[in-house]
Amino acid sequence: YLTINYKGGDKLYVPIDQMNLIQKYIGSDSVKPKINKLSSTEWVKTKTKAKKAVEDMAVDLLELYAKRESLEGYSFSSDTPWQNQFEDLFPYEETEGQIKSSEEIKEDMEKPKPMDRLLCGDVGYGKTEVALRAAFKAVMDGKQVAFLVPTTILAQQHYNTLVERFKNFPIKIGMLSRFRTPKQQKVTIDGLRVGTIDIIVGTHRLLSKDVVFKDLGLLIIDEEQRFGVKHKEKLKQLKENVDVLTLTATPIPRTLHMSMIGIRDMSVIEEPPEERYPVQTYVVEFNEQMVREAILKEIDRGGQVYFVYNRVGTIDKMAAKLKELVPEASIGIGHGQMSERELENIMLDFIGGEYDVLVCTTIIETGLDIQNVNTIIIYNADKMGLSQLYQLRGRVGRTNRIAYAYFTYEKDKVLTEVAEKRLRAIKDFTEFGSGFKVAMRDLEIRGAGNLLGVAQHGHIESIGYDLYVKFLNESIRKLKGEPLEEKIETTIDLNIDGYIPSLYIEDGQQKIEIYKKIAAIDNLEDYDELIDELIDRYGDIPKEVENLMDISYIKNNGSKVFIDNIYQLENTLVLEFSSIDKISPNLVHYLSESYSRRINFDLSNSPKFKYRHGEDMLLELKEIIEKINSFNEEENHI
């Protein structure tokens, strides 16, 4: 049994063959889940409230989608020879995700209805290039493109990228931000109005009343959730009948992506570019000698360093200490309490190579792409959340250079268990895409919140992510008129030992993990994969574990063919079905022929098959279930 403790000392004992009914609660790092009493109705109320909110949201989403489908927009022409030439000039090897996303976006642009597509991909996975291909396509049809970004620094970065990327083509690019003088801004705005500017990159300055386009065809929005409510209202007006592409680096969980198909057009880039190395990650006590060596090592190869120090009050002291420690380095300071202009100037100087080291707070957590920074040192990393550490580490390693991340904690400090686990987790997840594992859960929930709205984020927290997505899937299927799967739980009662002996797996946490995996065995592929994993991790599989795997396979496949109960009467196996209409007459005939005198049927109101088994009862039971399953599939197919 697995014991679940509730508030007030209540306990629930769950048999190991029903582990599939338990889900791990996944909320964000910051919110502690509320524990209820076993006898209280509070959990039921919380679920009902969340389910109602999900259903209402699904209705709104589907209505919005239907409305968009009926709008008439501009249908872009097919790719021109110049388009192919532009794409061939991309200096890197595209990833499959980039190619697929680009095709999906261009296909959308060629349709008569306005595009509204979301492009998701981790930081540095090449979303900008995909957006530029869409922009080029729009300009080839004589349309203008607006590229809206949340910060002035990002506007400058994107502007530089565009100028470089479009240099071989007669395409005029402009920029609107506070870095431009009023005179420069006026010239740019006039150019947009008369049509001499093809692509404009800008901050929310683009949303001002004096900005009028001659013929806007495509709007690209980078990280829309970072714009305020007022800006979003203006955006709504700008979006009308224009193709819209929204970019986000906050990962959208795959399960949520699947449930949004047919409601929100999404493209996902899941793999990093070629020749990108995982960031070398070290978790160490803060040590002045190590810090000096790490900084000099980076400077010696012509690179720059982020030193993250999250206390604004003493950040100047820390910068002075580093200057003493590494007199060879030029050091800049950046934090969120500076005026925007001051901070922007510091960042631009850093981008321009004026400083070797930037001592900064976590303001660098999102958005910045400075390819020359390939070492990050984080002071007191044990005080930060997992997703924050993951995001910070994502600031380095943006090129084919090996990058280094040092997560430091105070000398002689005994870490709390939580902090130690967090730092160990981030060290373990050094592979690319590993972010889509545990370390990204907090971010994914943030991503889900961004996609679905703040109110829904609260419901995800209250009932956990997995249950939320289950409700969302059900609501959408119901509204689309798709049948909901009838789910039957098969109960098995056999005189067989099925469990994981403590001698085989000692660690309690690992044991629960394996019980969960066994409970999820749905097909032979799952079965074989788990056997390989168990042998690899723990050695030869004991008979009891093998039995448990067989029982789980039988249970999960028995539910597919509507078997309620399977039990044993001496040397006879009894398979009880949920109702007579779940049994085809042809199936009875087929099984009679297959097993002749060993099987007989009771087709009353509670129908049963009775089978006299031989020596290997589980093997024979598996075979019967497989036969029923494949027969039903064939008959349904016909």
Q: From CA 632, how far away is CA 524, in angstroms rounded?
A: 18
Q: What is the mean pLDDT of the chain?
A: 82
Looking at the fold, whether 387 and 514 belong to one and the same domain comes out as no
Domain hosting residue 633, numbered range: 491-637
Q: From CA 485, how far away is CA 336, in angstroms rounded?
A: 51
Percent of the chain surpassing pLDDT 90: 26
The answer to whether position 422 is within a domain reads: yes
- pLDDT of the residue at 588: 80
Q: Among the three residues 411, 431, 451, which one is the final residue of a domain in this structure? A: 431
Looking at the fold, whether 98 and 240 belong to one and the same domain comes out as yes
Burial 197-212 (b: 16+ CB within 10 A, else e): bbbbbbbbbbbeeebe
pLDDT band at residue 422, thresholds of 50, 70 and 90? low
The answer to whether position 189 is within a domain reads: yes
Q: From CA 555, how far away is CA 545, in angstroms rounded?
A: 15
- pLDDT of the residue at 610: 85
Mean pLDDT of 489-494: 84
Q: From CA 73, how far away is CA 217, in angstroms rounded?
A: 9
The enclosing H or E element of 471 equals: helix 465-479
- Encoded tokens for 565: 């109960």
Q: Among the three residues 431, 460, 478, which one is the final residue of a domain in this structure? A: 431
Residues whose CB falls within 8 Å of the CB of residue 354, separated by 6 or more in sequence, listed in order? 330, 332
Looking at the fold, whether 216 and 310 belong to one and the same domain comes out as no
Looking at the fold, whether 421 and 519 belong to one and the same domain comes out as no
The answer to whether position 193 is within a domain reads: yes
pLDDT band at residue 145, thresholds of 50, 70 and 90? very high
The count of domains in the chain is: 3
Residue 351's Cα: distance from chain center in Å? 30
590 three-class SS: helix
CATH code at 179? 3.40.50.300
The answer to whether position 622 is within a domain reads: yes
Asked whether the beta carbons of 309 and 360 are under 8 A apart, the reply is yes
The answer to whether position 308 is within a domain reads: yes
Structure confidence by residue, pLDDT tens digits, 269-284:
878 777 777 788 888 8
Residue 217's Cα: distance from chain center in Å? 30
Looking at the fold, whether 113 and 236 belong to one and the same domain comes out as yes
Compute how many other C-beta atoms are within 10 angstroms of the C-beta atom of residue 529. Answer: 13
| pLDDT over threshold 50, residue 434 | no
Query: What separation, in Å, do the N-terminal and C-terminal C-alpha atoms of the chain show?
Result: 44
Structure confidence by residue, pLDDT tens digits, 149-206:
887 778 888 898 899 999 999 999 999 987 788 899 999 999 999 999 999 999 888 9
Structure confidence by residue, pLDDT tens digits, 212-266:
999 999 999 987 766 766 777 777 777 777 899 988 876 565 556 555 656 678 8
pTM over 0.75: no
Looking at the fold, whether 80 and 151 belong to one and the same domain comes out as yes
Q: How many residues does the chain have?
A: 638
Looking at the fold, whether 404 and 500 belong to one and the same domain comes out as no
The answer to whether position 37 is within a domain reads: no
Looking at the fold, whether 220 and 337 belong to one and the same domain comes out as no
Q: Among the three residues 413, 431, 449, which one is the final residue of a domain in this structure? A: 431
Q: From CA 124, how far away is CA 556, in angstroms rounded?
A: 41
456 compared with 464, residue with greater pLDDT: 464
Looking at the fold, whether 89 and 140 belong to one and the same domain comes out as yes
Looking at the fold, whether 530 and 578 belong to one and the same domain comes out as yes
CATH code at 581? 3.90.1150.50
Looking at the fold, whether 229 and 286 belong to one and the same domain comes out as no
Structure confidence by residue, pLDDT tens digits, 6-51:
888 888 887 776 776 776 666 655 567 788 888 888 888 988 888 8
| pLDDT over threshold 60, residue 441 | no
Query: Phi then psi for 546, rounded to 5 degrees?
Result: -60, -45
The answer to whether position 3 is within a domain reads: no
Looking at the fold, whether 221 and 85 belong to one and the same domain comes out as yes
- pLDDT of the residue at 439: 40
450 compared with 87, residue with greater pLDDT: 87
For residue 538, the one-letter residue type is Y
The answer to whether position 447 is within a domain reads: no
Q: Which of 23-37, 140-154, 306-320, 377-391 has the lowest mean pLDDT?
A: 23-37
Structure confidence by residue, pLDDT tens digits, 553-606:
988 888 888 888 888 888 888 888 877 777 777 878 888 888 877 888 877 777
Question: For 81, what's the count of Cα atoms within 13 Å in the CB-facing half-sphere?
Answer: 0
